[in-house]
Structure 1
């Protein structure tokens, strides 16, 4: 390599790096993203903003470019109520499985389905089986791809000043039946989206005393486990 090699230059001088303020915005939105449960009742999300958020999700990386996601926007009050009922049923079952922490769990607010401005269901779409590229030994990479799309949406929502909460308390087959999903499709997430009263400075489960996030050093090793 020669001294003129751009890979040897300081990060801020590399030709493909974003400007300092743009990089700072990226790291800020990552650091300030929260899993939200409390929303402003009666609020709305402008259609152009929702379109941008869904475009950000659709730009997510996917193994073999299979784009395994499907986003279902819930506008029917009856369907919203049905989804809430499924989540509430699983909330009770989860509490029962937690034994001595059941009462503590039931005191937590775990979803904002009835209050959020927009409700989305994200699913693995049908027809994924032929996609072997990247999935021959790791078939769950379709699920990983959907998670990347959801994270894109989450970060874009935070940048737009909107909160989002990922609800996973539901029985997948029951939700698939409720929404008329075809065989092979699998619901992954119920997403609550909309304006929120405030963004807490720490994860809600920390503030509620349920658990404490561990530092990065606990999760990084070198040359082995």
Structure 2
């Protein structure tokens, strides 16, 4: 059986999807329908993983008290991060909206088992970090599938993984990879918000090969 060939129209739409995948911070309040969320989880689980280990664990954080605790932990970590910046950078940093925790209708934590029994260790004896990389690919699958359905995703990285795990009462052996805010974006854009606010810009050299 020959490999699947995709049409030029599909490739053009894929390019558009990649451009419009953004880290969303501003969400509308309406919930994403449950069947759609289930479908996004299914698409995430189609990601490749080392040794077919599927080490990811997607956790729905629906409990109000836990969500509020996560918000408080973000504020604590955010204050600490701001304190390490220069006065000028701290002022600019304070103007950024760095999370959508209060607005997003859905919180999804992504943890992983660093020593999954599934896969029997295949492919990770020399590079055990491939377990974590597999989880990143599952998150990216989730993100692209969400974007294709008009759903926004925001990755909140300003959280202490150990504290987050305790708040969610998860297996202490699991490691945190991401905390995602999910919902319909208020103002979709193909330009990263950090670029719109002049915090940073894409470097042209990162889109060029390095030859050796």
Both structures adopt the same fold (TM-score exceeding 0.5): yes
The answer to whether residue 80 in structure 2 is matched with residue 103 in structure 1 is no
Give, in whole Å, the separation in 1 of the partners of 2:132 and 2:3. Answer: 34
- Give per-residue Cα distances to partners, 1:18-42, cap 9 Å, x unaligned: 12222222221111100000001x2
Seen in structure 2, the aligned counterparts of structure 1 residues 28 and 216 have a Cα distance that, compared at 3 Å, is farther
Q: Is the 8 A contact 2:99 2:154 kept in 1?
A: yes
User: How many residues are treated as equivalent by the alignment?
Assistant: 209
The residue aligned with 1:117 is: 105
Seen in structure 2, the aligned counterparts of structure 1 residues 84 and 18 have a Cα distance that, compared at 3 Å, is same
The residue aligned with 1:10 is: none
Is the partner of 1:53 in helix, strand or coil? helix
2:126 to 115, 123, 137: 137
Give, in whole Å, the separation in 1 of the partners of 2:114 and 2:190. Answer: 39
Give the structure, 1 or 2, with the largest relative contact order (CA under 8 Å, sep 6 or more).
Answer: 2
- Give per-residue Cα distances to partners, 1:140-172, cap 9 Å, x unaligned: 111111100000010011000011101111111
Where structure 2 has 5 or more consecutive residues not aligned to the other structure, the ranges are: none
- The Cα shift of 1:217 comes to 5.6
Seen in structure 2, the aligned counterparts of structure 1 residues 93 and 22 have a Cα distance that, compared at 3 Å, is same
| 1:20-59 equivalences in 2 (<5 Å) | 20-40=8-28, 42-59=29-46
Q: TM-score, normalised by structure 2?
A: 0.92
RMSD (Å) for aligned C-alpha atoms:
1.8
Which has the larger displacement, 119-128 or 158-167? 119-128
- Give per-residue Cα distances to partners, 1:106-131, cap 9 Å, x unaligned: 21100001111211000013643785
Is the partner of 2:32 in helix, strand or coil? coil
Q: Is the 8 A contact 1:126 1:183 kept in 2?
A: no
Seen in structure 2, the aligned counterparts of structure 1 residues 215 and 114 have a Cα distance that, compared at 3 Å, is same
Seen in structure 2, the aligned counterparts of structure 1 residues 129 and 107 have a Cα distance that, compared at 3 Å, is farther
Q: Is the 8 A contact 2:114 2:131 kept in 1?
A: no
Is the partner of 2:169 in helix, strand or coil? coil
Q: TM-score, normalised by structure 1?
A: 0.87
